Amino acid sequence: MDRSTRPVRLADVAKAAGVSHGTASNVFSHPEIVREEVRERVKATAEAMGYAGPDPKGRLLRAGKVNAIGVATNEPLSYFFDDPFARVMMASISQACDATGAGISLVSAANSEHLAWNIQSALVDGFIVFCIEGDSRLVELARERKLPFVALDLDSENQSVAAIGVDNIAGAGLAARHLAEFGHRRFAVLTLPCAEGGFGPITQAQAETSLYAGTRDRLRGYFAELSRFDIDVSKVPIYETVNDQESVWAGLDHFFASSETPTAILAMSDKMALHALDWMRQHDIAVPGDVSVVGFDGVPEGATSKPPLTTVAQPIAEMGRRAVKAILENEGTSSRQLMPVDLVVRASSGPAPTRS
Amino acid sequence: MDRSTRPVRLADVAKAAGVSHGTASNVFSHPEIVREEVRERVKATAEAMGYAGPDPKGRLLRAGKVNAIGVATNEPLSYFFDDPFARVMMASISQACDATGAGISLVSAANSEHLAWNIQSALVDGFIVFCIEGDSRLVELARERKLPFVALDLDSENQSVAAIGVDNIAGAGLAARHLAEFGHRRFAVLTLPCAEGGFGPITQAQAETSLYAGTRDRLRGYFAELSRFDIDVSKVPIYETVNDQESVWAGLDHFFASSETPTAILAMSDKMALHALDWMRQHDIAVPGDVSVVGFDGVPEGATSKPPLTTVAQPIAEMGRRAVKAILENEGTSSRQLMPVDLVVRASSGPAPTRS
DNA sequence: ACCCATCGTTGGATCGATTCAAGAATTTGC
DNA sequence: GCAAATTCTTGAATCGATCCAACGATGGGT
């Protein structure tokens, strides 16, 4: 109907109803202090004029609090709904938000120029930053907003930013020890990204220079433990993936093309491990009969996969809860929290096959 | 460091740098029109004072556009990350948002009082409303904001609101016909919620008075088609669920406790159908040998379940894309769009067993 | 009849930025 | 050397609400 005409403002309603804007405001925000007769008149006028209620844009400026927390990532937005780890984390974050009535704003952008703008103009009270691929630019941007923020899974060396992470070295150690104790001696490692972009086989030295400390620490954890079992880690093949099916399968093609095929696969995420299980099934390799696979994260899909996945479980729910708490309560925790991890033994790992 | 002191404002920076706030504003928003020398001085001052950049709260009021679309639901926020249908829909919505650089705000609340407030104060340019449980109060609230909005899957009778939905009657008909043509004659129906709260066996008459037209239409679609095969639909047991495992399993317990056990299950969502498959496996009932199951939605999990699920697929990705487009482009589409559905035949349906 | 509470209402100040017409400073043209 | 063109800068107005100190009515008590 009344298109092209700009929306009705509270002041318009006030004028039409013959009261001051102060009183009109009270009708909506503190109805109990306005005399009933006036209240009804103003409400009726508002209704008649098609007033949409106090505009949050205006309210916001005065109130100062948005009542929403931002969750930011470098990945496309759909990462939050596609990636198993992100999904579980988001579910726990959203439960915590529900409990306090806070909303969630998803912030991201395909290209990094958009990213900057999106972070700078996000209407939120604080940020939870997903640093799965550890780009420090994202952290930098979020920090410049000078709002409370927490990084999840951040490079463990940047001690100055608030972060909630897990003990990657210890966790990786648990996985490696578990397999070594089963008698495995021929290992192969599927890593998370080390550098921008590509994937392919890399050397230990290359992995050590990884941009992402999470990747680096997990590798160190694996190798430290394997060394303890007198395994020559310099011979363990490492394949860098981008945490998707294509690169994982390429990695396995690579491992199993060599003459000394591995009997144990260490995967740095459950997502990779689950893709690996698919690959094994397609290639008629028995798990854990021929090859054992251990993941990392502890996503629920691992419990129902074929076979169920042995993995290093992060306390994802607890991490999400703490992140939200940190944003909502604090005004700038700068501490780092390292959460413990748990080895969850299921059916994807077993004794090493007797050498044939 | 400088805690307890309120944040630096643009005006503070301007004063400190000895320029007007107008110029200071230009330094950040239109750097190219400010002389370089001045620009650098202001930037340096801002940096030194710990200015966090123009506060979006202020900018917003003037600009008018938030650049984010709100997605609202009655369910808890974690619904977006837990429910398979919602996940796929959100993934496609987020892709569309990514493409235009818009953000996503998730709006919800446990109790309905919070819901009202959250909708009223959400900082968004428009709403996409998930009406899975078709509560019209949610639609009402969203509409009162007088922002562009689109309902997904809304009751098909409320012609006045913009909505994107599927042809539930035709879709349900496809599922029913598929099973009837396989020779099935003993059917049972698992419905989505019909009323607030509970679950349990209901009559056709009760289902007809369902609060939710989606539920009603699917049932009508089933029954219309079954009648065409001379099946006495008044004898077909109907069990109302709340779309979770517990209620689905209770429904199956109920169906299979009777003397005339069904050979074909019509489930109004894939989620229910997948829970049904689990139940069958646990009770050693062969699918599709003893019982056939057909779902509704077409979520990806159906393709990899055991056995893969025959279902009525909605064009979820396309629906998400259109919803976003409607919000971002239009200033109030009030048309309804009915999308076509597709029967996807997989291995959970087969010929009716010969009567034993 | 007067004073004091109480209750409602008013209008101005404020939140933090952007925008724009007008003016000042500088450069260019003739 | 003066007018015109150009480039920056300024300060006021605006966006849409909330908050608060002050003020004007009422009603009750003595």
CATH of the domain at A261: 3.40.50.2300
Q: Residue A22 CA to D27 C1' — how many Å?
A: 25
What does the pLDDT look like over A27-48, one tens digit per residue? Answer: 999 999 999 999 999 999 999 9
Chain-chain contact of B56 with A81 (C-beta, under 8 angstroms): no
Closest residue in chain A to residue B84, using alpha carbons only: A81
Same domain for B266 and B208, yes or no, is yes
Predicted pLDDT at B156: 57
Q: Looking at the structure, tell me whether residues B190 and B217 fall in a common domain.
A: yes
Amino acid A334: pLDDT: 64
The whole-number Å distance from A26's CA to D18's C1' is: 9
Residues B310 and B171 placed together within one structural domain of the fold: yes
* Cα–Cα distance for residue pair A193/A243, rounded to 1 Å: 7
What was the pLDDT predicted at A101? Answer: 87
With respect to residue A14, please indicate whether it lies within any of the assigned structural domains: yes
Q: How far is the CA of A21 from the C1' of C12 (A)?
A: 11
What local confidence, expressed as pLDDT, does residue A137 receive?
Answer: 81
Residue B1, pLDDT score:
43
| CATH for A44 | 1.10.260
Tell me the pLDDT tens digit for each residue of B73-107: 888 999 999 999 999 999 999 999 998 889 999 99
* More confident position, B196 or A338: A338
Bridging pattern class, strands B200-202 and A238-240: unpaired
For the cut 60, the answer to whether the pLDDT of residue A272 exceeds it is yes
Q: Chain A residue closest to B100 (CA)?
A: A109
Within a domain: B354? no
Q: What Å distances lie between residue B233 and A31, B237, B262, B285, CA to CA? A: 54, 9, 13, 24
Q: How confident is the model at residue A1 (pLDDT cuts 50, 70, 90)?
A: very low
Q: What is the mean pLDDT of residues A266-287?
A: 97
Could you tell me if A51 and A105 lie in one domain?
Answer: no
Of A1-10, A103-112, A206-215, least confident by mean pLDDT is A1-10
Among chain A residues, the shortest Cα distance to B85 is held by A81
Residues A284 and A300 occupy one common structural domain: yes
Confidence of residue A336 (pLDDT cuts 50, 70, 90): confident
Assigned domain for B350 exists:
no
A354 occurs within a structural domain: no
Same domain, B32 and B124: no
Q: How many domains does chain B have?
A: 3
The sign of the dihedral angle between the CA atoms of A88, A94, A100, A104 is: positive
In a domain, A109, yes or no: yes
Same domain, A157 and A171: no
Same domain for B297 and B185: yes
Reading the block at residue B299, the tokens are 């979520």
Is residue B84 assigned to a domain? Answer: yes
Q: Is A165 helix (H, G, I), strand (E, B) or coil?
A: strand
Nearest-Cα distance to chain B for A12, in Å, is 17
CA atoms of A73 and A107, how far apart (whole Å): 7
Average pLDDT over residues A288-299: 97
Contacts of residue B59 in chain A, CB cutoff 8 Å?
121
d(C-alpha A91, C-alpha A114), whole Å:
26
Task: Respond yes or no on whether the N-terminal peptide bond of residue A288 is cis (omega within 30° of 0).
Answer: yes
Distance CA B97, CA B323 (A): 10
Distance of CA A272 to CAs A82, A256, B124, B144, Å? Answer: 14, 16, 36, 46
Contact B57 A66 (CB under 8 A): yes
Give A162 or A324, the one with higher predicted confidence.
A324
Of A116, A135, A165, the one marking the end of a domain is A165
Q: Looking at the domain assignment, is residue A5 inside a domain?
A: no
Is B246 a domain residue? yes
State which residues of chain B have pLDDT below 50: 1-4
Check whether A2 has a pLDDT greater than 50: no
Whether B160 and B172 share a structural domain: no
State residue B131's pLDDT score. 74
Same domain membership, residue A101 and residue A197: no
Say which of A103, A110, A123 has its CB closest to residue B60: A123
Q: Is B79 in the same domain as B114?
A: yes
* Per-residue model confidence (pLDDT) at position A136: 73
- The domain in which residue A271 lies consists of 167-317+337-344
Q: How far apart are CA B163 and CA B159, in angstroms?
A: 9
Find the helix packing angle between B84-100 and B316-329, rounded to 10°: 40
Residues A194 and A157 in one domain: no
Given B41, B63, B85, the domain boundary residue is B63
Count of helix runs (H) and strand runs (E) in chain A: 15, 13
Nearest CB partner across the interface for B108, out of A78, A98, A121:
A98
Q: Which residues of A touch B112 (CB under 8 A)?
A: none
Q: Among A92-96, A156-160, B233-237, where is mean pLDDT lowest?
A: A156-160
Interval A166-183: pLDDT, tens: 999 999 999 999 999 999
Identify the pLDDT of residue A158: 66
Q: What end-to-end distance do the CA atoms of chain A give, in Å? A: 81
> How many Å does it take to go from CA B40 to C1' C30?
37
- Helix boundaries (H) for A152-203: 168-181
Using the 3D structure, point to which of A165, A181, A197 is the last residue of a domain: A165
Confidence at residue B112, expressed as pLDDT on a 0 to 100 scale = 74
pLDDT for A355: 65
CB contact under 8 A, B98 and A76: yes
Answer for A340: CB within 7 Å of strand D: no
